[in-house]
Amino acid sequence: MITVTIVRNETDKRIVSFAVEGHAKYAKPGKDIVCAGVSAVSVGTVNAIETLAGIELPYTMKNGWLSSDIPVLPDAEADGRMQLLLESMAVMLETIATSYGKHVVIQERLQ
């Protein structure tokens, strides 16, 4: 099962970190559309933040694991763009979890 953990700031609800871990086991490796979808959304979001917003996110990526602690940017406009992309990721992952709940779980918590 893939577990997605999204941590939000208790005050303003901005995303302060996220982690994606595990394997969906929906199908054999190389044919697992659930794993591919989650990977595309999460890795694509990190790449989009770097490419479109010009922000290099600190992240760790290993087999079956991606995590990032999200910095607070001094430029409010850049921070807003980054948060919009992160919120988009959260919505897309929630959509996958709604369709494939036996293989993906989303956990959100406040910090």
Residue pLDDT, tens place only, 94-108:
999 999 999 999 999
The pTM for the full model equals 0.95
CATH number for the domain spanning 18: value is 3.30.70.1490
Q: What percent of the chain has pLDDT over 90?
A: 97
Residue 35 domain-assigned? Answer: yes
Angle ∠(67,22,107) on CA atoms, nearest 5: 65
pLDDT category of residue 91 using cuts at 50, 70 and 90: very high
pLDDT category of residue 87 using cuts at 50, 70 and 90: very high
Q: What percent of the chain has pLDDT over 70?
A: 100
Residue 109: what are its φ and ψ, rounded to 5°?
-145, 160
Q: What is the mean pLDDT of residues 47-70?
A: 95
Distance CA 55, CA 60 (A): 16
- Greatest Cα pair distance in the chain: 44
User: Of these residues, 5, 23, 61, 87, which one is catalytic?
Assistant: 23
- Total number of domains constituting the chain: 1
Q: Which residues form the domain of 90?
A: 2-106
User: Of these residues, 35, 82, 86, 89, which one is catalytic?
Assistant: 35
pLDDT of residue 34: 98
Helices (H), the chain: 33-52, 76-99
Residue 111 domain-assigned? Answer: no
Residue 97 domain-assigned? Answer: yes
Report which of residues 53 and 11 the model is more confident about: 11
Q: Which residues, including other chains, have CB under 8 Å from residue 59's CB and lie 6 or more apart?
A: 46, 66, 67, 68
- Write the DSSP symbol of residue 72: P
Q: In the annotation, is 35 catalytic?
A: yes
Q: In the annotation, is 106 catalytic?
A: no
